[in-house]
Structure 1
Amino acid sequence: MTAELSRSETADAVVIGAGHNGLVAAALLADAGWDVVVLEAQSAPGGAVKSAELVPGYVSDLYSAFYPLSVASPALQHLQLEDHGLRWSHAPAVVGHARSADDDDAPVLYRDIERTAAEFDRRHPGDGDRWIAAFEQYQRIKKPLLETLFAPFPPVRGPAGLLRRLGAADALRLAQLLLLPAGELARQLFDGEAAQLLLLGNAMHADVPVDAPGSGVMGYLLVMLGQDGGFPVPVGGAGALTAALVRRAEAAGARVECGREIDSIDVRGHRATAVNLTDGAVVRCRRAVIADTSAPQLYQRLLPPDVLPSGPHRDLDRFVWDTPVLKINYALDAPIPWRSPSLAGAGTVHLGADHDGLIRWMADLNTGTVPSAPFLLFGQMTTADPSRSPAGTESAWAYTHLPRGRSDDRSADQLAEAVDAVLEQHAPGFTGHLVGKVIQRPSDLEHSDANLHAGAVNGGTSQLFQQLVFRPMPGQGGPRTPLDNVFLGSAGAPPGGGVHGICGRNAARAALSADGPLGWPRRRLNRAASRLLVG
């Protein structure tokens, strides 16, 4: 990374935040020949893509850990990060799901589709063929489906491709299928519990209730991505992905500066003119500001209060964050002693609930109750990447949620005890193998990254009422803001959370478009549309 900024300078574009979306935006703008500076408040880049040795000799991913969306993302594929030092590693199995503490034969998804199909067919004859048929359909529609899910709203090219490949009737059926609640989607695709549970567990990677419309799309996408390309991890830790993004942005000419906190953005008329830092430095911007920050951070702290009309101000006051996260990092002196031997090779493991159990868990979250039997996402990082800890040991983590409004440390510690109890039930002797344990409470997550408000890691809920044109709020959906040259390039914009870089790409493309020869009529049209939408 380059030397510190002078007290006052000028750049074509200022990117606020060196999370993965900010770094993607910086690389794309620098590729276009812009002079780009990235300003990051923390002492290191990466946002929620970082790793560290919390226990000596054990590398822990501090936030995100497995990256199926990254390897599928057209934004990250375009950057060719493998040319900048990134290497991927895979666990022997992709993901497993234990439905209860006494489950000694948990179903597992493998990268070999024949092995996965045999796994499902053994438990419920016919589900192997159903799995193969579902995956073959996914292979036919993968490109236009991902284009639809990753495009700025409204998507055009992706739906057109789906129509060409499926025809109108089947495309409509697919759309209806993906809008189903996860439980109903699983029942429509498979007859047996094993395949259904794997889809349901993956649906819980988002914060949409399992019985809510639209919750099925994440489960479907992740199991298909898992079958197609696995759940890979960067060799050496999540920080290796960030390091490759920094090298890629700097190779294009962008400058990345850390420890530079933003105080405010100066605005004149419909344009941002400068970014003010808390240390007194000023960076004037010729062309654009990209904010890889949460939507409330941008609109309620950095921009002047009169940028938003009163209607969107009220909408932002009602902005819904995703549920707070509790993450516990473990260092063990031996592999996990699973009750179900099938889980030993799975990089990602879902623990603690069948369909009804997931609904009970969500009921706890929705009623402000700290769960006594939480659903867990569990990562076996040394299983996925042997470089994470000494041979014969395991670097691992568990991840679950607290209710909104219960992100205090006392509630987090109460939930952490329940997490350990669930792990001990599924892996008797687990706690006896611990040589280190570090809890990341919601307060710790927010302290390490201001975008992770109260431990929310998704940039806002993924539920339908705050997605697509409604993300981050009605009338201001997408990367564009009421200002001609300020763009939201974080998970607060569509398509939302996940390490895919699409939010940063969309913001960079919007900035390039607004600055081009058709920029002036586009800006006028966007302002008119915004006034119409907000009344």
Structure 2
Amino acid sequence: MADAVVVGAGHNGLVAANVLADAGWDVVVLEGTAHVGGAVRSAEVAAPGYLSDLCSAFYPLTPLSPAMRPLALEDHGLAWTHAPAVLAHLLADGRAALLSRDLDTTRASLDTFAKGDGDRWAALYREWTAVADALVPALLTPFPPVRAATRLLTRNSVADTIRLARRFVQPTRLFGDRAFGGEGARVLLAGLALHTDLSPDSTASAGFGWLLGMLGQQVGFPVPVGGAQRITDALVSRLEKRGGVIETDAMVTRVVVGNGTALGVRCADGRAVRARKAVLADVPAPTLYRSLVGAGHLPERLLDDLGMFEWDDATMKIDWALSARVPWINPDVAAAGTVHLGADLDGLTRYSTDLTLGRAPREPFLLVGQMTTSDPGRSPAGTESLWAYTHLPHKDLWDEGELAAHAELIEDVLERHAPGFRSLIVGRHVAGPPRLAEKNPSLVGGAINAGTAGVHQQLFLRPVPGLGRADTPVDRLYLAGAGAHPGGGVHGAPGANAARAALARHRFLLGGAYGASMRALNRSIYG
């Protein structure tokens, strides 16, 4: 028995457990696999001596997140480092748009595509710095973000805030065409938007591209010294020092519900764990509602809405151990921790169209990570620990031959942009959608963001039409994973939001204002 049971030891589950432990709660985290960390883990998978991040690798939101900052993970062994440059988008003709934490370097790069684009980028960045400390909390706190939105309006006029909102819902192609004269800045933003599943022509892709671009300009794309695992290790260390317990190989198969209230969980081995105050689930929303809770405890309207739930695109990721640094056709790219390659702006649209039509892109866009460039200890001196991922259609079954062919296509793209790349390979590890899901059940079908980033599944529509909050129709049960607002990314917000909702619910108890208001609101939404 514990005050709270947290299902899943991904970073959101660990953040939630830490917030509850800070409040004096007795917390047990149950992880179904043999490893903690979920998508925030590292291992030597390509070759001995070459450290790879198994999923997430760069963390622009983590240092600024209002969920992560108060945890002071640097006091528990976490340290950050940066590549010399943040990001390069390399085009087939050898030109590259370079994003650097040094604004003058970014400006000079964008000016090579169109004179004045550097100044235009700097103007966007000035807008960002004026509102960032209010905007980031507004994006990451529960919806509606009343306090953060009020702070934002004190920094910005109402008219400017409305214009900012328009930018967030624009397609990247439209915004880039209006804001910049050259291809460099346009393709930089469009590639950043494709860190989600939003094409250059998708509504809201401009918002994601601008957000990541401005974060990259301000704080870079930092990485943990010693690998992504260090974030998980720091969260675990912090939790255990506060008395929290983590159990691995403890697969939860059912949330026990009685009289509309979550009472605890049952594990695959038949063991039951009682939760005195709350159950928090760091699992995908369909997994929580369809598998762990079950239709008998849920409103029909919610189940109908789940039928409209959309996953984000699947992912294929390859890690390489290279005997030397990547021989890029443009030497400037060697300094970038993150590299985009494989397509210009129209190519990004063709790539996205293939995904929409359910076929593996014939010209894949690659997001590449030069990890030794970012953190020299990731591989022996003079070598490179490299990875690349690309998106594939989300589907139930994959032919291994098709995946193997796509892995070769990915290496073809790298060879074109870095002749001699293949000759440097001393080891590689290929993870297609089935393998990603096998190693981490929360990556359903290889989807890494727990649901599309499309506007129809954001804010109060995530994961289904409702509150944009962690609360569920089952009392004392909270969705603490990336399926809840604000979605994917290693910012810890879904976990922290769920923990704070559980604390608020407990303070007011069944008859209090919070419990009564949440039940009334759930009834109005779900019937």
Which of 498, 502, 516 matches 2:507?
Answer: 516
Tell me how far 1:231 sits from its aligned partner: 0.4
Counterpart secondary structure, 1:115: helix
Question: For residues 218 and 91 of structure 1, do their structure 2 counterparts lie closer, same or farther at Cα, with a shift above 3 Å needed?
Answer: same
Paired AA for residue 357 in structure 1: G
Q: Which moved more, 1:34-43 or 1:476-485?
A: 476-485
Q: Is the counterpart of residue 270 in structure 1 residue 260 in structure 2?
A: yes
Residue 217 of structure 1: how far off its partner (Å): 1.2
Question: Of 83, 86, 89, which residue of structure 2 is paired with 1:97?
Answer: 89
Taking the aligned partners of 2:397 and 2:385, their CA distance within structure 1 comes to 26
User: What is the CA distance between 1:525 and its match in structure 2?
Assistant: 2.1
Whether the aligned pair in 2 keeps the contact of 1:267 and 1:304 (CA below 8 Å) is no
1:189 and 2:179 aligned: yes
Distance of 2:26 and 2:52 partners within structure 1:
35
- Match for residue 314 of structure 1 among 304, 309, 321: 304
Structure 2 equivalent of residue 497 of structure 1: 488
CA contact (8 A) 2:394 2:447 kept: no
Distance across 2 between alignment mates of 1:139 and 1:123: 25
| SS of equivalent to 2:112 | helix
Correspondence for 2:49: 57
The answer on whether the counterparts of 1:326 and 1:402 sit within 8 Å (CA) in structure 2 is yes
Q: How far did 1:331 drift? A: 0.7
Matched, 1:14 2:27: no
Structure 2 match to 1:379: 369
**2:66 is the counterpart of 1:74:** yes
CA distance in structure 1 between the aligned counterparts of 2:365 and 2:515, rounded to whole angstroms = 46
The residue identity in structure 2 corresponding to 1:441 is G
Give, in whole Å, the separation in 2 of the partners of 1:11 and 1:32: 14
Shift in Å at residue 506 of structure 1? 0.4
1:146 equivalenced with 2:136 (yes/no): yes
Q: CA deviation at 1:105?
A: 2.8
1:276 positional shift: 1.1
Alignment of 1:107-122 (within 5 A): 107-122=97-112
Q: Any conservation in 2 of the 1:107–1:342 contact (CA below 8 Å)? A: no
Residue identity over aligned pairs, in percent, reads: 50
Aligned-residue offset at 1:252: 2.2
Deviations 1:69-92 (CA, angstroms, capped at 9, x unpaired): 111211111100000000111101
Give me the whole-angstrom Cα distance separating, in 2, the residues matched to 1:74 and 1:159: 14
SS of the counterpart of 2:475?
coil
The CA deviation string for residues 385-408 of structure 1, in whole angstroms up to 9 with x for no partner, is: 001000000001010011122751
Work out the CA distance in 2 between the residues paired with 1:517 and 1:523.
7
Aligned residue among 33, 38, 48 for 2:24: 33
Alignment partners' CA distance in 2, 1:105 and 1:374 = 19
Q: Residue 482 of structure 1: SS of its match in structure 2?
A: coil
For normalisation by structure 2, the TM-score amounts to: 0.97
Contact 1:263 1:276 (C-alpha < 8 Å) held by counterparts: yes
Q: Is the 8 A contact 1:276 1:282 kept in 2?
A: yes
Distance 2:20 2:122 in 1: 41
Matches within 5 A, 1:209-220: 209-220=199-210
User: What is the DSSP-based 3-state SS (H/G/I as helix, E as strand, rest coil) of the residue aligned with 1:74?
Assistant: coil
Contact 1:484 1:514 in 2 (8 A): no
- For 1:517 and 1:291, how far apart are their aligned partners in 2? 21
Q: Say whether the 8 Å CA contact 1:178–1:185 is kept in structure 2.
A: no
Counterpart in 1 of 2:347? 357
The structure-2 alpha-carbon separation of the partners of 1:318 and 1:376, relative to structure 1 and needing over 3 Å to count, comes to same
Contact 1:407/1:455, CA 8 A, preserved across alignment: no
Counterpart code for 1:399? Y
Q: Report deviation, 1:476.
A: 5.8
Alpha-carbon shift at residue 122 of structure 1 (Å): 3.3
In the superposition, the TM-score normalised over structure 1's length comes to 0.96
Displacement after TM superposition at 1:183 (Å) = 1.2
Structure 1 residues 329 and 480 mapped into 2: Cα distance closer, same or farther (>3 Å)?
Answer: same
Matched, 1:175 2:165: yes
Q: CA deviation at 1:63?
A: 0.4
- Bigger shift: 186-195 or 174-183? 186-195
Cα deviation digits, residues 131-153 of structure 1 (max 9, x gap): 21111111110011112111111
Query: Secondary structure at 1:526's aligned position in 2?
Result: helix
In the alignment, the residues of structure 2 paired with residue 130 and residue 107 of structure 1 have an alpha-carbon distance, to the nearest angstrom, of: 14
Q: 2:143, 2:467 within 8 Å by CA — same for their partners in 1?
A: no
Residues 368 and 406, structure 1, Cα contact 8 Å, conserved in 2: no
User: Match for residue 339 of structure 1?
Assistant: 329
| SS of residue in 2 equivalent to 1:298 | helix
Q: Mean alpha-carbon deviation: is it higher for 143-152 or for 400-409?
A: 400-409
Task: Give 1:29 deviation, angstroms.
Answer: 0.2
Q: Does 1:423 align with 2:414?
A: yes
- Bigger mean CA offset, 351-360 vs 114-123: 114-123
Alpha-carbon distance between aligned partners in 1 of 2:467 and 2:397, rounded to the nearest angstrom = 28
Counterparts of 1:416 and 1:156, CA distance in 2: 46
Q: Distance in 2 between matches of 1:323 and 1:104?
A: 29
Conserved 8 A contact 1:105-1:342: no
Give the Å deviation of 1:130: 1.3
Tell me the SS of whatever aligns to 1:75.
coil
> Is 2:123 aligned against 1:133?
yes
8 Å Cα contact 1:474-1:534 kept in structure 2: no
Distance 2:301 2:66 in 1: 35
One-letter code aligned to 2:403 = A
Which moves more between the two structures, 247-256 or 65-74? Answer: 247-256
Determine the structure 2 residue equivalent to 1:248.
238
Quote the offset at 1:523 in angstroms: 2.1
* Alignment deviations for residues 102-155 of structure 1 (CA, whole Å, 9 cap, x no partner): x32311111111111122223321112112111111111001111211111111
Post-superposition CA distance 1:6-49 (Å, at most 9, x none) = xxxx1000000000000000000000000001110111100000
Q: Give the letter aligned to residue 106 of structure 1.
A: A
Classify the secondary structure of the residue corresponding to 2:156.
Answer: helix
State how far apart, in whole Å, the 1-side matches of 2:517 and 2:82 are: 47
Aligned to 1:23: 14
CA contact under 8 A between 1:96 and 1:349: conserved in structure 2?
Answer: yes
Deviation (angstroms), 1:274: 2.0
Q: Give the match for residue 330 of structure 1.
A: 320
Q: For 2:134 and 2:467, how far apart are their aligned partners in 1? A: 26
Number of the residue aligned with 1:4: none
Would the aligned equivalents of 1:11 and 1:35 in 2 still touch at CA under 8 Å? yes
- How far residue 517 of structure 1 moved from its aligned partner, in angstroms, is 2.8
Q: Secondary structure at the match of 2:364?
A: coil
Partner deviation per Cα, 1:445-497 (whole Å, 9 max, x = no partner) = 11011111110010011101111111111136421111110000000000000
CA distance in 2: counterparts of 1:167 and 1:317, whole angstroms = 40
Any gaps of 5 or more consecutive residues in structure 1? 1-9
Match of 1:6 in 2: none
